[in-house]
Homo-oligomer: A and B are copies of this chain.
């Protein structure tokens, strides 16, 4: 674990670049927290993986907890940016729903660290996101977009199921989240690799089908 670091002569150890230093700490610590959890991550290890020192972490972030919160915040911010740039207004409701499902699907796949951080945070009962000390806004743009699509679908008469945007989002998210996050234990239990490329396309379509089928099927009278 020592060798590989010496192999970087062109890595300009540029001094005095606070923004870059902060950014690097944030990126590395996100990875570490996602990998090992809050308790498992080591401040020393994070420092070693940056081009700066442990003291800098405390200089900029104050404590391990604050660093973790900063990383979590950043992760949410990234998601929000992606979601804010979605445009499905030109699609008919069914295609729009499929598109949104694919978006969430791709997002989970492209950014597994976000999910791992979230997972981590939930294991410890959301002790940081629920901190009264005001964890900043976590609103997610995708909900508004979903609401509009559902509205249009209902107006058109194609969506007949009584369900709101939040629950649709939960249905989609849960599927995408599980596939990425629980792939290790799932593979151990059932011997199926959920992220195998061959299967990926199938799941990507599947979640769209699931949601569309649900939205377009009337509630059963009896149950």
| Chain A residues proximal to chain B, CB less than 8 Å | 34-40, 76, 98, 116, 118-126, 129-130, 135, 138-140, 143, 161, 163, 166-167, 169-171, 173-175, 177-179, 181-190, 192, 194, 203, 205-206, 208-210, 212-214, 217, 219-220, 223
Contact = CB atoms under 8 A, between A and B. Distances in A.
Given A219-B209, A223-B98, A188 B124 contact: no
Contacts of A210: 171, 210, 213-214
Contacts of A173: 178, 182
19 contacts: A34-B123, A37-B37, A37-B40, A37-B123, A37-B124, A76-B189, A118-B182, A120-B123, A122-B184, A125-B184, A126-B188, A140-B190, A167-B203, A167-B206, A170-B179, A205-B223, A209-B219, A213-B214, A213-B217
B143 A190 contact: yes
Contacts of A170: 175, 178-179, 186, 194
A92 B137 CA distance: 47
A182 B122 contact: yes
A35 B125 CA distance: 8
A203 B166 CA distance: 12
Contacts of A35: 124-125
Contacts of A40: 37-40, 124
Nearest to A116: B123
Given A39-B39, A40-B40, A140-B189, 15 more contacts: A37-B120, A40-B124, A130-B188, A135-B188, A143-B190, A161-B209, A166-B190, A170-B178, A174-B175, A174-B178, A174-B179, A177-B182, A209-B220, A210-B213, A210-B214
Contacts of A186: 170
B181 A119 contact: yes
Contacts of A143: 190
Contacts of A36: 39, 124
A67 to B, nearest CB: 16
